[in-house]
Structures are given as structure tokens and as C-alpha cells.
Amino acid sequence: MAGGCVIQLFGRRVAWGRGCEWHRQSRNGQRRMAVLGQSPYCSAVEAPAVHHAVSGRVRRKILTLQSMNPQVRAVEYAVRGPIVLKAGEIEKELQNGVKKPFDEVIKANIGDAHAMGQQPITFLRQVVALCTYPDLLDNPSFPKDAKRRARRILESCSGQSLGSYSASQGVNCIREDVAKFIEKRDEGVPAHPDNIYLTTGASDGISSILKILVSGEGQSRTGVMIPIPQYPLYSAAISELDAIQVNYYLDEENCWALDVNELRRAFYRAKEYCSPKVLCIINPGNPTGQVQSKHCIEEVIHFALEEGLFLLADEVYQDNIYSKSCQFYSFKKVLYDMGPEYFNNVELASFHSTSKGYMGECGYRGGYMEVVNLHPDITAQLVKLLSVRLCPPVSGQAAMDVVVNPPQPGEESYEQFIREKDAILCNLAEKAELTEELFNQVPGIKCNPLQGAMYAFPRIFIPDKAIEKAKEHQMAPDMYYCMCLLEETGICVVPGSGFGQKEGTHHFRMTILPPVEKLKILLQKVKDFHMRFLEDYA
């Protein structure tokens, strides 16, 4: 399809063309798809014939949608899915002078802080700059504490260069700093550098540990328990590995709480068709923003020991706590506090990243995982697996080092660092409260408190007529809603169906990262759109 692209939409291949636009007719309250030249959907995509220049024979492409790896074809990733592709098309149209009811596309689909205008932490950028261009170490405008950290990192790099490969587990001194950070965070709980693996963002660590865990065939195939709603990395990785996704539902009516009884229901139901071995927890939650209590984490750990489950604790938002009634507890700390029976037996991998928190350094792709109670033979296998990708980006490792080894009281950069960090986190807390408050003023929208992370996941009422219209376009109702929102307002959010949700409910996820004034405009536009949408489909 000229000017378009082929995408995977709710398990179905569709061609999404440039000619597709959503139009709102305010008088009769109907929306229709205006198709210019060709239908935006097709049931199959055929491989084009290719003329062989030498023999004159015509043959088809070797690699087609039918012949490719079916596990890759099954992968879906909502936060960069069809709604984002459409947003990109609209941006190009605006750049080419096409008139729209708005002047810009606001991409609230992904937690990319710097893309939304957040300023980098000065100290982090100084250290990475010094590591990248060591000639700056003689520049008097850089603080001494930044230079000390840069020299230490460079001395641990081969050839004292960030451009050299590191060990597959990461630069040794950075892993040492990560271990010290964890010990301090967890009030003295021991951490060892040998259990630390530096990764290409947290995503790389999660995918790697899942590769080690997945095995078996048929009813013995590994089942991976994930929260619903979930971050689509998990469902994508499970699909790619041809593992079995086991859903457990968070309790929306109780601020997205995790109920251990729901874990048991999902676990014993899954045992009928697979071998559930892995339990994933996202805390603070993405997309739901809840912060789990210490008692809840204790129940989860007890359940994991009782049923023989390997725990994956996604803790990348551990700095993003906004509710005064909430506190972050790491799974490692709670595990230790529960005593030797738990601390010496429960297998746990936990993850952190430079991309979230107050740093927002998504592009550096820095992260780490700590793995405890892994069998020594499996440790060797994990190191072997990680060695295949040689090493994570060393610049990202340097950025991770600043996160775990920031300026300390008495150091030259400390006051500026704390000022910048606190300003970012206070601003996010303000925006979390603002978003919850304004959404809950809109009839047909309900938003739970944003206790942590960077997102709102409001529940939206979609009238029956709109649901029927969505069916006509072979779309999930909340995808139709979000596509209409994008076409009419320029606001790009992700439908809840891309994260999973209970049958009969509809949501969307949006980030709270835009500057306060732009966020207010965004929320007002969503409110006005929602009221029109309800009126049009009443």
C-alpha cells in the first residue's frame, strides 16, 4: 500500500495507509473512516514477485509473513504500536502544511522524560561527558567530584576508554557501586558484585532471565505469571520465547492492589495446561501506578516459596513515589527481613534502570539486575548467555554508576544535585495529583490515585453505539476511542487493551511527564473530547 505500512493489530495483519482519516460530524454525531483510494485493512499480505535479472525467472521473497518466525510475528508492543504510527503520520502532515484542528501532536504514549522537556541531571551528564571525552578532565569548569568518578570508571575500562568492550557482566567498579547502593538502600542487607549484571536498560535483563527460565513442551511448557494490566514488554518477551502467559488481575476497585488469592486462582488454573514457574511483579506499577505495601510483598514472597516460583521484581520506578501514605520496599529487603528460610531459598531477580526515576535518561540504555539464590551452574549459563551480546553500552553503564553513586554531603556537586533531583520529583508529584483530580471531574472517566511511576490509567465509559462503530472497523473499543482522540486533538495515548484489562472494561494509559501547563491543556482537551464523544454516541 503506497505510503503506508503493515502492522499487527490485535492479532490481525492490517495495512495502515496514509489516506485514512477520522472525521467527526458534530450535527449527527457519527464518525466514519474516509478512505482515499484503498481500504485501510486487508486480510492477508502477499509477498511480491521478484524478477530474477539473470535467468528471467520470477520467484517470491524467501522471507514473508508466512515464512518468518511465528513467535516474532506474534509479538505486539502497544506503546509503540499502530496509534503511534498514526501519530507519526499526522506529525508529517502538519509539517507539510496540512490543516488540522490542532498545531502539534502531544505524544503522551511513552515514559520518555527528556522528550517531554525534562532537563538532564547536571552531575550525571558531567560524569558521562568526562568519560566520553577525557580531555575535559583538565577543564577547570568541571567539578572535582565528577572528575573523581570519571577517572575511576575510565581506570576500570580496557585502554581507559569508554569505547572498549567491558566484561559481559559490566564494568567491575560499577558493579561494586551497585552492590553498595543496594546495601545502603536496604539498610544493610548484604549485596555482592558477583550477583550484579549491568544491562541494556532493565528490559535487557528481564528478557535475558526469561530466556534462562523458559523450557518444556506441551503441558510442561513454562508458564510466566504477569499482572494485568501489564507493561507490554512482558507479553512480547513471552510470545517471542513461545512461553505461556498466565494472567493475574490487579484489583482496580482497591487502587490496583495485588491480591494473593488472585495469584492462587491464576496459578492453579494455569497448572491445568502449563508449568507455572515464574512470577513477575511491577512495583511501583506500570501502567497502573500503585505502590505495593510491605505486607503485600510478604504475602507474595510466601506464595512464591510455597509454590516454587522464581520471582522477577521490576523496580525501575522505585524513586517515583508520590503518595505520602506509600513507601517503596524492595523485594530483596522484605525477603531478608522474613528470615533465613526465605532469604536463602527464594530465587529473585530484581531490576533497575537509568530511564525512569528522576533521571529520565532513556537513551543511554543503562540498567542492572541483581539475581540472588541462583544455582552456581545456572550462574555460569547466564554469564554465557550475556556474553553473546558482548556487553551493554559502556556509556549507559557510566550513567548507571552516577545513579547508584551520586554526590554525597560535603562534596562539591551535592547541593545542586539534590536541588535538581527534588525539583523533578516534586514536579512529578504535583502532576500526579493534578491528573487524578482533573480526570475524576469528568463524567464517564474514573482514575485511581497515582501513587507512583509516571502514568495514569483511567477507566473510560464507552457507549454501546461507539462499541458497535469500533466493531465495524475491526478495532477494540478503546483503540477506536484513542484513534478518535488523536485525530481530533493531536493527543497520542495508548489504549488499555494493549496492556490487558478485565473483560468489559476500557482504559487508556498516558504519561504525566508533560510540563504542568501543557499537561493542563492536555487534560482539558481530553475532557472536552470525552464529553463530545459521549454526546455523539448517546
> What is the enclosing helix (H) or strand (E) of 429?
helix 414-439
Residue 210 and residue 135 share a domain? no
Asked whether the bond before 287 is cis by omega within 30 degrees of 0, the reply is: yes
Q: Let me know if residue 180 belongs to a domain.
A: no
pTM: 0.84
pLDDT given for residue 52 in this prediction? 55
Assign residue 322 the CATH number of its domain: 3.40.640.10
Q: Let me know if residue 169 belongs to a domain.
A: no
Alpha carbons 497 and 372: distance in angstroms, whole number: 34
Alpha carbons 522 and 325: distance in angstroms, whole number: 28
Residue 370 and residue 319 share a domain? yes
Q: Where are the beta strands (DSSP E) in 180-243?
A: 196-200, 222-228
Residue 472 and residue 366 share a domain? no
pLDDT given for residue 49 in this prediction? 56
- Give me the phi and psi of 365, to 5 degrees please: 55, 50
The CA-based diameter of the chain, rounded to the nearest angstrom, is 77
Show the domain range for 152: 120-164
Residue 425 and residue 341 share a domain? no
How many Cα atoms within 13 Å fall on the side-chain side of residue 137? 14
Residue 461 and residue 427 share a domain? yes
Residue type, 414: Y
pLDDT given for residue 109 in this prediction? 86
Residue 315 and residue 450 share a domain? no
Contacts of 423 (CB under 8 A, 6+ apart): none
**370: which strand partners?**
196, 350
Residue 225 and residue 103 share a domain? no
Residue 442 and residue 348 share a domain? no
Alpha carbons 78 and 231: distance in angstroms, whole number: 9
Sort 42 into a burial class: Cβ within 10 Å, 0-12 / 13-18 / 19+: middle
Residue 290 and residue 355 share a domain? yes
Contacts of 178 (CB under 8 A, 6+ apart): 191, 193, 196, 198, 368, 370, 400, 404
Residue 289 and residue 335 share a domain? yes
Q: How many domains does the chain have?
A: 4
How many Cα atoms within 13 Å fall on the side-chain side of residue 465? 11
- Among 141, 164, 187, identify where a domain stops: 164
Contacts of 465 (CB under 8 A, 6+ apart): 537, 538
How many Cα atoms within 13 Å fall on the side-chain side of residue 420? 19
Q: How far is CA 290 from the centre of its chain?
A: 15
Report mean pLDDT in 10-residue bins for the chain, 538 residues. Answer: 42 41 39 34 46 64 72 62 82 87 87 90 97 95 96 94 89 96 96 95 90 90 94 88 94 93 96 95 94 95 96 96 94 96 95 94 93 92 87 94 96 97 96 95 95 95 93 90 92 90 92 93 94 91
Q: Let me know if residue 182 belongs to a domain.
A: no
CB burial string 319-334: b at 16+ within 10 A, e below: bbbbbeebebbbbbbb
The β-bridge relationship of strands 244-249 and 106-107 is unpaired
